[in-house]
Amino acid sequence: MIPYLRLVALGGTDAFLLEALFRSTVWSHLELPVSRDNEELLCRVVRETCKSALAGYHTTIEEDNKLKEAKLNSRLAMAVGIREGEKKVLQQIDEVFKEKELELDLLEYYQERRLKDLGLCGESGDILGDLEKFM
């Protein structure tokens, strides 16, 4: 799902990657982070979607817990348990992408990977030789 979300979030200077759509390599490009902006948008969209889905429930996890303590018939107890589980999964996804947002500066993006592949960038990300004059 992440590669698809990266594709949907492509824009601006990252749009040049759409050229790869005409080749079978687009999905391999999107397996890894494209750019900081693209990855940040992906995280924001996923987090906002989780929050929106959580807001659509009429009860909180705490309220569901209180309901489960009451004497419910088995079908209602099962429904409350499923609803609570859905909310917990949405919260966990939100947390994963919240942590991912905090690590955006640590990721290696397409431009840096490409420069390394071409031998124009060192392992630590420094631009090599006379190329710095053009940047």
Q: At what angle do helices 74-102 and 61-69 cross, to 10 degrees?
A: 150
Q: Report d(CA 51, CA 56) in Å as an integer.
A: 9
Q: Report d(CA 130, CA 135) in Å as an integer.
A: 10
Tell me, what's the pLDDT at 122? 65
Tell me, what's the pLDDT at 131? 47
Tell me, what's the pLDDT at 17? 66
Homologous superfamily of 2-122? Rubisco LSMT, substrate-binding domain (3.90.1420.10)
Greater confidence, 30 or 56? 56
Domain boundaries, the chain: 2-122
Q: Report d(CA 62, CA 49) in Å as an integer.
A: 21
Helices (H), 2-73: 2-8, 26-30, 36-55, 61-69
Q: Report d(CA 69, CA 10) in Å as an integer.
A: 47
Report whether pLDDT(77) > 70.
yes
For the stretch 103-134, pLDDT in tens is 999 999 988 888 888 887 766 556 555 544 44
